[in-house]
Amino acid sequence: MAQAGLRDVSFPSIDGGTLEMSDWAGQPVLVVNTASQCAFTRQYEDLQVLYDTYRDRGLVVLAVPSDTFRQELDSAEDVREFCDIAFGLDMPMTDILPVKGSDAHPFYQSIKDQTGFVPRWNFNKVLLGADGQVVETWGAQSAPMSRSVRRAIESELNRE
Protein backbone atom coordinates (compact mmCIF):
# COMPACT_ATOMS: atom_id res chain seq x y z
CA MET A 1 0.00 0.00 0.00
CA ALA A 2 2.83 2.33 -0.86
CA GLN A 3 1.92 5.98 -0.35
CA ALA A 4 -1.81 5.32 -0.27
CA GLY A 5 -3.65 7.84 1.82
CA LEU A 6 -4.50 6.72 5.33
CA ARG A 7 -8.11 7.73 4.63
CA ASP A 8 -8.26 5.17 1.80
CA VAL A 9 -7.97 2.25 4.22
CA SER A 10 -10.81 0.06 5.41
CA PHE A 11 -10.94 -2.30 8.36
CA PRO A 12 -13.13 -5.35 8.94
CA SER A 13 -15.54 -4.39 11.73
CA ILE A 14 -15.85 -6.51 14.85
CA ASP A 15 -19.62 -6.27 14.30
CA GLY A 16 -19.45 -7.42 10.67
CA GLY A 17 -19.08 -5.31 7.55
CA THR A 18 -16.34 -2.76 7.20
CA LEU A 19 -15.18 0.46 8.79
CA GLU A 20 -14.07 2.93 6.13
CA MET A 21 -11.57 5.57 7.20
CA SER A 22 -12.97 7.76 4.42
CA ASP A 23 -16.27 7.92 6.37
CA TRP A 24 -14.39 9.99 8.95
CA ALA A 25 -12.81 12.44 6.49
CA GLY A 26 -12.52 15.85 8.11
CA GLN A 27 -12.47 14.36 11.61
CA PRO A 28 -9.53 13.50 13.84
CA VAL A 29 -9.21 9.76 14.48
CA LEU A 30 -7.29 8.18 17.36
CA VAL A 31 -6.36 4.61 16.33
CA VAL A 32 -5.30 2.32 19.18
CA ASN A 33 -4.09 -1.27 18.92
CA THR A 34 -5.67 -3.07 21.85
CA ALA A 35 -5.58 -6.43 23.62
CA SER A 36 -7.93 -7.88 26.21
CA GLN A 37 -5.34 -9.72 28.31
CA CYS A 38 -2.69 -7.01 28.64
CA ALA A 39 -1.58 -5.09 31.72
CA PHE A 40 -2.74 -1.95 29.86
CA THR A 41 -6.25 -3.29 29.18
CA ARG A 42 -7.67 -0.87 31.78
CA GLN A 43 -6.93 1.85 29.19
CA TYR A 44 -10.16 0.77 27.48
CA GLU A 45 -11.95 2.63 30.26
CA ASP A 46 -10.10 5.89 29.51
CA LEU A 47 -10.50 5.39 25.76
CA GLN A 48 -14.26 5.30 26.29
CA VAL A 49 -14.09 8.43 28.49
CA LEU A 50 -12.02 10.16 25.81
CA TYR A 51 -14.53 9.15 23.15
CA ASP A 52 -17.47 10.28 25.28
CA THR A 53 -15.73 13.60 26.00
CA TYR A 54 -14.89 14.53 22.43
CA ARG A 55 -17.16 12.59 20.07
CA ASP A 56 -19.72 15.40 19.82
CA ARG A 57 -16.90 17.64 18.61
CA GLY A 58 -15.92 15.10 15.95
CA LEU A 59 -13.29 12.80 17.47
CA VAL A 60 -13.39 9.15 16.46
CA VAL A 61 -11.62 6.58 18.64
CA LEU A 62 -10.97 3.36 16.75
CA ALA A 63 -9.92 0.28 18.73
CA VAL A 64 -7.93 -2.30 16.75
CA PRO A 65 -7.82 -5.56 18.72
CA SER A 66 -4.63 -7.42 17.91
CA ASP A 67 -2.95 -10.65 18.89
CA THR A 68 0.42 -9.46 17.55
CA PHE A 69 1.78 -9.51 21.10
CA ARG A 70 -0.12 -12.69 22.00
CA GLN A 71 -2.46 -11.08 24.52
CA GLU A 72 -5.82 -11.07 22.75
CA LEU A 73 -8.76 -13.40 23.24
CA ASP A 74 -9.38 -16.19 20.73
CA SER A 75 -12.22 -14.65 18.71
CA ALA A 76 -13.76 -11.33 17.78
CA GLU A 77 -16.95 -12.44 19.52
CA ASP A 78 -15.02 -13.00 22.76
CA VAL A 79 -13.36 -9.58 22.44
CA ARG A 80 -16.69 -7.82 21.78
CA GLU A 81 -18.35 -9.57 24.75
CA PHE A 82 -15.41 -8.78 27.05
CA CYS A 83 -15.38 -5.10 26.03
CA ASP A 84 -19.15 -4.79 26.40
CA ILE A 85 -19.27 -6.42 29.83
CA ALA A 86 -16.07 -5.04 31.36
CA PHE A 87 -16.05 -1.54 29.88
CA GLY A 88 -19.36 -0.82 28.11
CA LEU A 89 -17.50 0.22 24.96
CA ASP A 90 -19.45 1.75 22.13
CA MET A 91 -16.56 3.12 20.07
CA PRO A 92 -15.86 1.59 16.66
CA MET A 93 -13.79 -1.60 16.82
CA THR A 94 -12.15 -3.68 14.15
CA ASP A 95 -11.84 -7.42 13.95
CA ILE A 96 -8.63 -8.89 15.45
CA LEU A 97 -5.78 -7.73 13.18
CA PRO A 98 -1.97 -7.87 13.05
CA VAL A 99 -0.33 -4.48 13.61
CA LYS A 100 3.33 -5.12 12.80
CA GLY A 101 5.46 -7.31 10.60
CA SER A 102 4.91 -8.40 7.02
CA ASP A 103 1.27 -9.32 7.69
CA ALA A 104 0.39 -6.03 9.41
CA HIS A 105 -2.88 -4.44 8.37
CA PRO A 106 -2.36 -1.93 5.51
CA PHE A 107 -3.07 1.00 7.88
CA TYR A 108 -0.11 0.04 10.04
CA GLN A 109 2.08 -0.70 7.00
CA SER A 110 1.28 2.76 5.68
CA ILE A 111 2.00 4.40 9.06
CA LYS A 112 5.36 2.63 9.13
CA ASP A 113 6.16 3.70 5.55
CA GLN A 114 5.17 7.33 6.16
CA THR A 115 6.48 7.92 9.68
CA GLY A 116 8.60 4.94 10.75
CA PHE A 117 6.19 4.30 13.65
CA VAL A 118 5.54 0.65 14.50
CA PRO A 119 3.57 -0.42 17.59
CA ARG A 120 6.02 -1.81 20.12
CA TRP A 121 3.27 -3.13 22.39
CA ASN A 122 -0.48 -3.05 22.91
CA PHE A 123 -2.29 0.25 23.39
CA ASN A 124 -0.01 2.31 21.15
CA LYS A 125 -1.86 5.32 19.82
CA VAL A 126 -1.84 7.08 16.43
CA LEU A 127 -3.68 10.38 16.05
CA LEU A 128 -4.71 11.32 12.53
CA GLY A 129 -5.68 14.91 11.95
CA ALA A 130 -8.80 15.99 10.13
CA ASP A 131 -6.63 16.11 6.98
CA GLY A 132 -5.77 12.41 7.34
CA GLN A 133 -2.12 13.02 8.23
CA VAL A 134 -0.40 11.60 11.30
CA VAL A 135 -0.36 14.27 14.02
CA GLU A 136 1.33 12.32 16.77
CA THR A 137 1.99 8.81 18.09
CA TRP A 138 2.25 7.51 21.64
CA GLY A 139 3.34 4.28 23.25
CA ALA A 140 1.42 2.20 25.76
CA GLN A 141 2.70 4.22 28.71
CA SER A 142 0.78 7.30 27.55
CA ALA A 143 -2.67 7.10 29.06
CA PRO A 144 -5.59 8.09 26.80
CA MET A 145 -6.60 10.92 29.15
CA SER A 146 -3.03 12.18 29.59
CA ARG A 147 -2.38 15.86 29.04
CA SER A 148 -0.27 15.11 25.95
CA VAL A 149 -2.99 13.08 24.22
CA ARG A 150 -5.81 15.46 25.16
CA ARG A 151 -3.79 18.53 24.10
CA ALA A 152 -3.11 17.04 20.65
CA ILE A 153 -6.78 16.09 20.21
CA GLU A 154 -8.04 19.48 21.35
CA SER A 155 -5.61 21.20 19.00
CA GLU A 156 -7.03 19.19 16.08
CA LEU A 157 -10.62 19.83 17.14
CA ASN A 158 -9.95 23.59 17.40
CA ARG A 159 -8.53 23.89 13.85
CA GLU A 160 -11.94 24.63 12.33
Catalytic site residue from 6, 38, 63, 93 = 38
- Tell me the chain's radius of gyration from C-alpha atoms: 14
Of 17, 18, 21, the C-alpha closest to 5 is 21
- Is 38 one of the annotated active-site residues of the chain? yes
Q: Are 126 and 137 in contact (CB under 8 A)?
A: yes
Of 44, 32, 15, the C-alpha closest to 108 is 32
Contacts of 64 (CB under 8 A, 6+ apart): 11, 31, 32, 33, 34, 93, 94, 97, 99, 105, 107
The catalytic residues are 38
